[in-house]
Chain A
Amino acid sequence: MILSNAVLQILQVGCVLLLAPLLQGFILKAEERVQRSCGPSIFQPYRDLWKLFHKQSVVPESASWIYLSAPIVAFTAMLIVPILIPVLTDRPLPLSDMGDMLGGGMILTLGSFAIILAGLDSGNVYGGIGSSRAVMLAILAEPTLILVLVGISLLAKAMLPFVVNHLLLGSLSVYWSPAHLFLILAFFTLLLVETDRLPIHSSTHLEIYMIDEARILEYSGPLLALLKWASMMKQFILYTIFCNVFLLPWGLSQLGGPLGQLGSAGSLLLKFLLVALVVIVVETVQSRLRFYRYQEPLAAGFLFAVLAIVSSQLL
């Protein structure tokens, strides 16, 4: 039995919504296990979200409507992006024509932008620090992201992620071409930066090093839950793009039956396991970089993206 497109669409969004905390929990636990300590349970983020939804919300006096609407904007943006990218199925679903890869990137950035505004909104010192640092990272990372998307479009001669997926599935020589390998490396650097892994590690709890945490310092209760969930979903989405579009395009459901969806979700988790392990290894062997040296890994990412574009022209 083939599920209808609407059901598949809902399933995709729901998969992202529900499995995002699981990925976060897995990463946190694995990090701790690698360092020989016990670590929290992998279902802990669910419990955290549940707890936050039941807490009282404390709003600062100087907050405006931006404070209240930013978490909702971010959360919604994170719900829209899974519609555009291949999460569970191989073929493009009707609503995925809403935006191509560049559009998906822009919506992700919209979510971040809303939270940056919220950090500035209440006039808190830490909010200001967090927002300005986050903007600086965004300035360094955005050109690389755009170049990566341009590179992959040049490779596939189309801007839709589904076309890229089919291309990589079909042609082994394109998969192993230098352009593609460089794009993988560039996107991996971006992944590390955007999901707050070391060497940038913006989600530390020490105020002086905070980047992302400082933006949401003022939030509490359900709004905080929405924000945390949005950042977990962003991580999940970035992993999805990395795996399904770049690195491991296999394992997506082609027909659309319910068993296929389950299998697809399972393979998704498996792929994420592999990528997360690599990320954790990279994180554990590095130490934190000084703020003014953040440009170095990002410059390397930029370099990879440029080399990818040049290689795609040469071959």
Chain B
Amino acid sequence: MFLAHVNSLQASIFSSLAVVSLLLTFVMLGSHWLRNYVYAFAVQSWLIAALSAAVGYFAGYPELYVIAALTALFRGLALPYLLMRILTRLNVKRELHAALQPSSSLVLGALLVMFAFIIANHMNRQSLLSARVVIMALTIMLSMKFIGFLMLAVRDEAVSQILGLLVLENGIFLGSQILVPGMPLLIEIVILFDLLIVVACFGMLVRFLVVHAGTTSSRELNRLVG
């Protein structure tokens, strides 16, 4: 299996790409400006595309080049473009952190990374491969999930919540590139397109929110209770 024979150069390339992606998630957690979120997401998608290409090169899956190109195109260009359009139309600039200050979110995010590391270690102990790359991939995948949920939970603005969902998906994608590069091509392509449709739907919904509900901040969407 590919992961059992990873040498140190490959391991460090994968690790650096994955870790910098995780870092960009923290940029999203800690920043005040919604534009920065979108930029961080775009760069993150590019890095994951590069990771995909690297895995394809080293493990010998040429179809991953196609996935990498599509990821860079759709997740790296089309999605950020759509999100920026939503942002400019919404005319919001800042995220008001009512629930959790950015600094506390950063610290909480760091703790979540440690928690993800413990889980990844436990899931992998003594069993399959003690390849560090596997633990790292699992850790980063799980921590991006946790941080994505953190963003979904404590953020008010609709765009931040969309970005939280996209970070969740990015995390899964990153993990799947390293852990299961042989996953059938069809699934990966369809998931990519699916994401595009999801964001398009979100864009429409956000417009409806502004027009009919008058606000996009979840804190103010509280008519339905009980």
Contact = CB atoms under 8 A, between A and B. Distances in A.
A and B touch in the complex (CB under 8 A): yes
Chain B interface bracket (under 10, 10 to 19, 20 to 34, 35 or more): 20 to 34
Contact of B12 (A296, A302, A313, A315): A315
B117 A173 contact: no
A303 B107 CA distance: 6
B110 A177 contact: no
B30 interface: yes
A298 B107 CA distance: 10
B36 interface: no
A196 B80 CA distance: 38
A307 B23 contact: yes
Contact of B117 (A293, A295, A302, A314): A314
B117 A310 contact: yes
Chain A CB within 10 A, most for which of B16, B23, B110: B110
A307 B112 CA distance: 11
A313 B139 CA distance: 11
B107 A299 contact: yes
Contacts of B15: 178, 311, 314-315
B19 A173 contact: no
Interface in A290-309: 293, 295-296, 298-300, 302-303, 306-307
7 contacts: A176-B12, A296-B30, A299-B103, A302-B106, A310-B114, A315-B11, A315-B15
Nearest to A293: B103
A173 B136 contact: no
A311 B20 CA distance: 11
A307 B106 CA distance: 11
B8 interface: yes
A298 B136 CA distance: 26
B104 interface: yes
B132 A296 contact: no
B136 A300 contact: no
Main SS at interface, chain B? helix
B109 interface: yes
A299 B104 CA distance: 7
Given A299-B104, A303-B26, A303-B107, 8 more contacts: A173-B8, A299-B30, A299-B103, A302-B107, A303-B30, A306-B114, A307-B19, A307-B110
B113 interface: yes
B218 interface: no
B135 interface: yes
A295 B110 contact: no
A299 B29 CA distance: 12
Interface in B79-115: 101-104, 106-107, 109-111, 113-114
A248 B103 CA distance: 30
Interface string B1-22: 0000000100110011001101
B155 to A, nearest CB: 17
Nearest to B101: A295
Contacts of B117: 310, 313-314
B114 A295 contact: no
Interface in B107-144: 107, 109-111, 113-114, 117, 132, 135-136, 139
A293 B136 CA distance: 32
- Among all A-B residue pairs, the 5 with the closest Cβ atoms: A299-B103, A295-B103, A306-B110, A299-B106, A314-B136
Contacts of B102: 296, 299
Contacts of A302: 106-107, 110
A315 B20 CA distance: 15
Contacts of A295: 101, 103-104
A307 B104 CA distance: 16
A126 B26 CA distance: 37
